[in-house]
Amino acid sequence: MSYRDRILIVEDEKNIAGFMTTILTSNGYEVLHAETGAEALMLVSSHCPDAMILDLGLPDMDGQRIIRTVREWSQLPILVVSARSHERDKVSALDLGADDYVTKPFGTGELLARLRTALRHAHNRDAEESLIQRGKFTAGDLCVDFDKRRVYVRGEDAKLTQNEYRIVALLAKYAGRVLTYDYLISQIWGPNASGDNRILRVNMANIRRKIEPKPGQSQYIFTEMGVGYRMIEDD
Ligand code: CA
């Protein structure tokens, strides 16, 4: 590996921090560790990490404040680590600009996979943002053709409506990441749209009927309960 990604772990529980440091180091990452929010903010500006793994419950400040502060000047990928009971925290963390979250307790494989996805998206971000989405997204029998603005299942046009297409295209563009209900609603129906999820859920039910092979069994688009939706990563 010619360049080692430098990961900042922000975690006040020594056991967890130690565990994560071991995993990341043995997978070729360079690791920095902060136990407080103040220390984290200092390290972000002094050591320019490539990504941050952030525990929301810190002794000196709320993790959400860290996300908000960092996002004022940096697009650094932020992977939030949170307890399952704090679903609202996860949603607002994502809405504040965190890239993804991992629920405690988490497995090694999951942590590494989420981190790789966040880093890859960050590395691609500049190119992604400067271009209109082009080409194709393919996962199994599903193909999103961004140029034709159509979705195909086993080569057949799934006949999505305009809004259904836009939802699928957005999820495909950020495949592997969870997009929150609020984010999807604001992207599809505009920033002043009602925060009511009902219309999004109706659209999603129609999309699933058209693209998923079996009813009630998601193969492509997964629901993150109370948070949003995630598209499977491309092949
Ligand atoms: Ca903590």
Question: pLDDT tens-digit profile of 17-57?
Answer: 999 999 999 999 999 999 999 999 999 988 889 999 999 88
CA 160 to ligand 1 center in whole angstroms: 44
Give the closest residue to 120 by CA, choosing from 197, 175, 200.
Answer: 175
The segments of the chain whose pLDDT lies below 70 read 1-3, 84-86, 124-132, 191-192, 194-195
- Determine the distance separating the centroid of ligand 1 and the alpha carbon of 87, expressed in angstroms: 16
59 Cα to the center of ligand 1, angstroms: 7
DSSP per residue, 133-157 = --SEEEETTEEEETTTTEEEETTEE
Task: Report how far ligand 1's centroid is from the alpha carbon of 215 (Å).
Answer: 40
Cis ω for the linkage preceding 215 (within 30 of 0): no
- Partners of residue 100 on adjacent β-strands: 79
Structure tokens that stand for 196 in this block: 């009511």
Neighbour tally for 18: CB within 10 Å: 13
- C-alpha distances (whole Å) from 192 to each of 38, 162, 171, 185, 205 are 35, 19, 21, 9, 23
Distance 178 CA to ligand 1 centre (A): 23
- CA 134 – ligand 1 centroid, Å: 41
Ligand 1 centre and the CA of 203: distance in Å? 38
Amino acid 47: pLDDT: 86
| Dist. CA 192 → ligand 1 center (Å) | 35
Q: Cβ(169)–Cβ(146) under 8 Å?
A: yes
Calpha distance 175→157 (Å, rounded): 20
Q: 37, 24, 42: which is closest to 63 by C-alpha? A: 37
Cα 70 to middle of ligand 1, angstroms: 19
CA gap 88, 92 in Å, rounded: 6
